[in-house]
């Protein structure tokens, strides 16, 4: 089981006052179109992972709705669910994540709810006997994996051949840092 979420500060300067209202630089119709353009499926990081796994000879199913959390990829042979998470939308503590300055309380609640939903889905999958792998956007954007996708592919295949029930692949520090695979029993 995963530990409960820790509380995050909105910024290093403290919290923002509720009475502050930031006006948007675009009208509401345009903002709505922009937000509608943010995809939940077939994102660039997800397509990158799909290409890597397919090149490794692995076959998978996409977005199985019968599994908790609707994993991005499911490898039935390994009984493994793979999630490809964007660092902003899933509240990852990395160099790509920055708390929004407009409507901070709304975003804080939304992103923490997203993270709680992610943890609940992982726990449900583990209780159902599934293994889980979370690949973070920062790992795919980090220089070593960007230029050498074979290293990422080999790391994933090695983990699949092991017995660990969960792993995260992410980048520690900056864009230049080598991505890290962290397994838990």
Residue bearing tokens 């293994």: 131
Give, for all 185 residues of the chain, the pLDDT tens digit. Answer: 444 433 333 333 444 334 445 566 778 788 777 766 666 677 888 998 999 999 999 999 999 999 999 999 999 999 999 999 999 889 888 888 888 888 889 999 999 999 999 999 999 999 999 999 999 988 888 755 565 678 888 889 999 999 999 999 887 655 545 556 677 76
Would the pTM count as exceeding 0.85?
Answer: no
C-alpha span between 146 and 118 (Å, rounded) = 26
pLDDT of residue 67: 96
pLDDT of residue 81: 97
174 DSSP assignment: S
Q: Are 82 and 60 in contact (CB under 8 A)?
A: yes
CA torsion angle 128 130 136 142 (round to 10)? 170
C-alpha span between 165 and 51 (Å, rounded) = 23
Phi, psi at 25, each rounded to 5°: -85, -5
């Amino acid at each position: 089981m995963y530990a409960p979420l820790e509380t995050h500060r909105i910024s290093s300067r403290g919290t923002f006052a509720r009475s502050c209202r930031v006006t948007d630089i675009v009208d509401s119709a345009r903002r709505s179109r922009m937000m509608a353009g943010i995809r939940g499926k077939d994102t660039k990081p997800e397509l990158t992972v799909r290409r890597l796994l397919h090149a490794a000879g692995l076959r998978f199913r996409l977005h199985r709705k019968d599994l908790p959390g609707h994993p991005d990829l499911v490898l039935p042979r390994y009984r493994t669910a793979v999630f490809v998470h964007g660092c902003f939308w899933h509240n990852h503590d990395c160099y790509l994540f920055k708390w929004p300055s407009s409507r901070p309380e709304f975003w804080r609640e939304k992103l923490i709810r997203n993270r709680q939903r992610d943890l609940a889905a992982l726990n449900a999958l583990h209780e159902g006997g599934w293994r889980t792998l979370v690949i973070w956007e920062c790992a795919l954007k980090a220089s070593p994996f960007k230029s050498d996708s074979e290293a990422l592919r080999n790391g994933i295949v090695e983990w699949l051949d092991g017995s660990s029930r969960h792993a995260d692949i992410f980048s520690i520090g900056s864009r230049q840092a080598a991505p890290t695979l962290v397994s838990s029993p």
